Amino acid sequence: MNVFLFDIDGTLIDAGGAGQAAMEQSLAEEFGAAGPVSGIPTAGRTDRAIAMDLFKFHGIDVNDDHWDRYLKSYFRLLPNSLKTRPGTILPGVPELLQSLSTRDNLHLGLLTGNFAEGAKLKLAHYGLSHHFSVGGYGDLHLDRDDVARTAWQQVQSRHPHVEPDRVWVIGDTPSDIRCARAIGAKVLAVATGIFSVDELEPHQPDLLLDDLRDVTRWLAAAGLN
């Protein structure tokens, strides 16, 4: 049994900034926190960490009531943001997921910084959600490594005999590479996000590709060719 855990943004899809736009719109509608935002990195981080930074940037208290209001608003606004932003599925992804989903000796999951509901909405919008049944998400954790540990716990609960070296994390940022190492997994890095091949290479993924169109070498490395 092999397990492939996919990142979402920059790996499977380019949502055209729909998530960030919905976050900022939510803060504006709920708390009047309008205006340009600067200095808050997003790539490879969890939605919880990004949102907490946005709260601090706008001087909004982080408490249970504010957090609940923000989440409800964000999940309400995200579908329309996805419809109106110029997003796309990244090259090779539909064909790859369809091919992998037919294999009996392979389990597909997610390892993403997205909130679980946000991940569901994004993948449903692009028609990809049916491929994944387990995952680690960015609802509770600030550190992507902790998301990886949660995903690994889910994998172990379903497939207790799977060893970490049979797990591959597929992502587009140094954070994806680092969090994979936190659980002893292998890494396929793809330069389909904001990081180039030259920027990803020093982080030493097991395999580095331009995109997911030709994954012959990867499947061979995973023993699935």
Q: pLDDT for 96-119, tens place per residue?
A: 999 999 998 899 999 999 999 999
CB 47 within 8 A of CB 115: yes
Q: What is the pTM of this model?
A: 0.96
Using the predicted structure, report yes or no on whether residue 35 has a pLDDT greater than 80: no
Place of tokens 């904001």: 194
Structural domain boundaries of the chain? 2-15+87-221, 18-84
Where do runs of H (alpha helix) occur along the chain? 18-31, 47-58, 64-84, 93-101, 116-125, 144-158, 174-182, 197-200, 216-221
Confidence of residue 34 (pLDDT cuts 50, 70, 90): confident
Its CATH class, for the domain covering 2-15+87-221, is alpha beta
The pLDDT tens digits of the residues spanning 151-202 come to: 999 999 998 999 999 999 999 999 999 999 999 999 999 999 999 999 999 9
